[in-house]
Amino acid sequence: MNIMTELKEYVKDAQNIVVAGHVAPDGDCVGSVIAIYRYIRKLFPEKKVTAYLENLPAVYDFLDPDNSIISNELDNDEVDLFIAADTSSIDRLGIVGEVFKKAKSTMVIDHHVSNHGYGQVNIIETPLSSACELIATLMAEEDIDKDIASAIYTGMVTDSGGFRFSATSRKTMNIAGMLMEKGIDHAFIMDRCMYSRTYNQAQLLGRALLESMLVMDGKCIITTVTKKMMDIYECLEEDTEGIVDQLRVTRGVEVAVFLRERGEQEYKVSLRSNSYIDVSRVAEYFDGGGHIRAAGFTMRGSIHDIVNNIMEQINLQM
């Protein structure tokens, strides 16, 4: 039985299904959860399906125009099947990790190299451009409609950096072409997710770039966004998405490090690399995870100590 059939059969046996993604959801997470939700609802309209995300970033609200899909709370009903999408570890599910643990059946669909499989069924394929690319292969092409295709394309575009990152393959582009043939507005999705930003987001990005610094003979670039800066520009956590990628394209840089202050001496760290540094190894050292070229973790301490510790780990691969 192939993977696609296994997925259909697995879903068919469950009545109450939850599909959820990781905390601080990005485009691939949002696209994965919505695509799976729409797929199940289309094939099995009689089932109860809940699509859970901690929040829906405004940039992706076109995927749920009537606010009918995404929930940020779960009821106490017994869950027959919990599908964790684009989530490398159970703790990354946040508060619904407890629901996952209590579910009758669990499935993990992911592409992170740091995911070692924590579900009863684990469909983990690396390296792929995105979890959404994997999800597309788990669905028969005839079952993918325009709405499902839009969600999948969104995840593929965002996690591949607009089809620029190294995990982008011929298969990636073939799937993207198939999705385009479903009638999606691919130009809108690309512009909305990759290039458009609010004025406040542009100001925050400018400030982050202005205060960045080059270290390690110009091979590494670092910047920090503090809570005070977030308040000044009236930005949310989701508004920092893309800053680390803008750092990464600085000429001569191999590794970009972006730190966002979350609390008293607590920082969310995002890492990107261009050619040879495996940032997933750095992230895993600090109990995080991700991909070879994109990873992250949370760390506590003074900014000086955090940066020094990160540089020490990066230097091991230089």
- What domains, with CATH codes, occur in the chain? 3-195 (3.90.1640.10), 199-315 (3.10.310.30)
The predicted pLDDT at position 2 comes to 44
**Total residue length of the chain:** 318
% of the chain exceeding 70 in pLDDT = 98
The predicted pLDDT at position 70 comes to 87
**pLDDT of 165 strictly over 90:** no
The predicted pLDDT at position 5 comes to 52
Q: How far apart are CA 272 and CA 285, in angstroms?
A: 15
Mean pLDDT of 20-32: 95
Mean pLDDT of 104-110: 96
Q: In the structure encoding, which two tokens stand for residue 165, read together?
A: 């990152």
Q: How far apart are CA 36 and CA 129, in angstroms?
A: 18
**pLDDT of 187 strictly over 60:** yes
Q: In the structure encoding, which two tokens stand for residue 309, read together?
A: 């510790």
The predicted pLDDT at position 1 comes to 34
Q: Are strands 213-215 and 255-263 parallel, antiparallel or unpaired?
A: unpaired
The predicted pLDDT at position 60 comes to 96
- Taking the whole predicted model, whether its pTM rises above 0.85 is answered as yes
Mean pLDDT of 139-144: 94
